[in-house]
A = this chain, B = another copy of it.
Amino acid sequence: MIANQDFPISEPPLPEPECRSLFLETPPVSPLAEADLEQIHLASMRVLEEIGMDFLEPRARKFMADAGAEVDGERVRLPRDLVAKAIATAPERFRMYAQSGAYCLEFGGNAVNFGSIASTPYCCDLKGGRRPGTMADMSNFVRLLDSLPEVRLICGYPVEPQDAPPETRHLDAIRAFLTLSDMPCHAYSLGETRIYDALEMIKRARGIGDAQFAARPSVFSIVNTSSPLRLDKPMAEGLMAMARAGQPVGVTPFTLSGAMSPITLAGALVQQNAEALAVIALVQLVNPGAPVLYGGFTSNVDMRSGSPAFGTPEYARAALVGGQLARRYKLPYRSSNVNASNAVDAQAAYESMTSLWAAMLAHGNLIMHGAGWLEGGLTSSFEKVVLDAEMYRNLEATLTPTAYETWRPDPQAIAQLTAATEALTETSFLPLEEAYEHWRPEPTVERASREAQRLIAEHGPRVLDADRLEALDAFIARRREEGGAEAA
């Protein structure tokens, strides 16, 4: 239940639409013993009490001071009771809704939602190579992602549209989301203006008011800490605006073991937990009951180059332990599908499968960067979007029941091998590979390329009610005239 302070819910409840999340039947994999998990919890509580965390936004510090935190300049020290009490008001499960309201997604428990890549400066495909992202590229990514039923959310700009001016980029990008796809989407917490703009645009496109929007959220924002132990002003502003509107906030420390975090995985996880819980506490102090996700993105630095490594065992283990921590606090969990490869090759696939299996086994309720991630997050690949959807589908089908759970086997069929009337699931949607003798080298990425081009070409615009489209475009025109948002 979302107890929203600004917009009390008074309308009669709407009928609940179909839920399109995947619900896993296999229990989560929990690598740490309870006692060891408790050590991470206790150490992170000591960090928040004894060291504290910098909150650069004064209103955020005020919320925390009012709740009993010790504020010293920008530094805020949080007693463990304050943290426990605040995070206890966060819902264990919440739902997000399609912009049309036609379906919903659930976050929490055993529900999994596979999302898009986000926030890369570059994009690539076989035909055009690697290049800075444009609005045209971003729109094509949205078309492709929207065509794949595996992808359940747009988790940010699938590539940064660098040709759009920074002060109005958010208006153009959110418009593209709302006119090309019905999926729940993401707005960036780069100051409060961009969030307010996004919220207004979405309400207009949906034709709803604040109360219904709060009751049926359809946009979320990822808030990253500036590790170690700092929350910047633009992120805090976005967080507060989202929380007040009842829209979900995913809190994700980027704790890179060996860079902005201790070199041991234990230390990095303690830091992740301290930062995540402090910021989740802030969300709950702003609006008790507002939907929130516990995010884990802990990885390690490659000690030979100093670059972030992704899809490593350290990453996968941290993702699994992150799930355990989220379950301990009864919070929905966000994980990712990542790799450090430069190309859509074997390395990209096996690093992705390391992180994707871990995200699924951890019961990652939101799998950010699910489809398209390449090169440590610097590049979005059109071909990788298709292959990631295929990999996700493989795991979805592996970890959910098939016909034989309820089917009673007929031993006579085994002798005769005839009574085979049931259709076998087709598990691959890529065009079939030729036998070796007729085959040209390295076809997987080529097959994915053909599939991506076909899906983009066949994708039509989303039919938005004319009044709503007009209201949306009028708002955009006004905001563009006003100069858009300040630099973040």
CA distance A391 to B358 in the complex (A): 14
How many chain A residues touch B (CB < 8 A): the figure is: 115
Do the beta carbons of A25 and B31 come within 8 Å of each other? yes
A 395-424 to B, binary, CB cutoff 8 A, 1 in contact else 0: 111110111111111111111010110101
Do the beta carbons of A345 and B444 come within 8 Å of each other? yes
Do the beta carbons of A433 and B347 come within 8 Å of each other? yes
Q: A306 CB to closest chain B CB, in angstroms?
A: 11
Residues of B within 8 A of A406 (CB): 36
Residues of B within 8 A of A14 (CB): none
Do the beta carbons of B51 and A424 come within 8 Å of each other? no
Q: Which of A64-72, A132-140, A434-442 contacts B (4 or more CB under 8 A)?
A: A434-442
Interface residue A305 (Cβ < 8 Å from any Cβ of B): yes
Do the beta carbons of A31 and B399 come within 8 Å of each other? yes
Contacts of A177-203 to chain B: CB distance below 8 A:
none
CA distance A269 to B441 in the complex (A): 35
Do the beta carbons of B267 and A409 come within 8 Å of each other? yes
Interface residue A263 (Cβ < 8 Å from any Cβ of B): yes
Interface residue A284 (Cβ < 8 Å from any Cβ of B): no
Do the beta carbons of A302 and B341 come within 8 Å of each other? no
Do the beta carbons of A398 and B346 come within 8 Å of each other? no
Do the beta carbons of B414 and A269 come within 8 Å of each other? no
Across the interface, A442 reaches (CB within 8 A) one of B343, B378, B397, B422, namely B343
Interface residue A445 (Cβ < 8 Å from any Cβ of B): yes
Name the CB-closest residue of B to A354: B394
CA distance A348 to B344 in the complex (A): 12
Across the interface, A433 reaches (CB within 8 A) one of B263, B312, B341, namely B341
Q: Which of A150-158, A237-245, A313-321 contacts B (4 or more CB under 8 A)?
A: A313-321
12 further A-B pairs in the complex, CB-CB below 8 A; given A264-B422, A311-B394, A375-B436: A29-B29, A263-B420, A264-B409, A266-B403, A266-B404, A274-B414, A303-B426, A304-B432, A312-B427, A342-B433, A346-B445, A347-B444
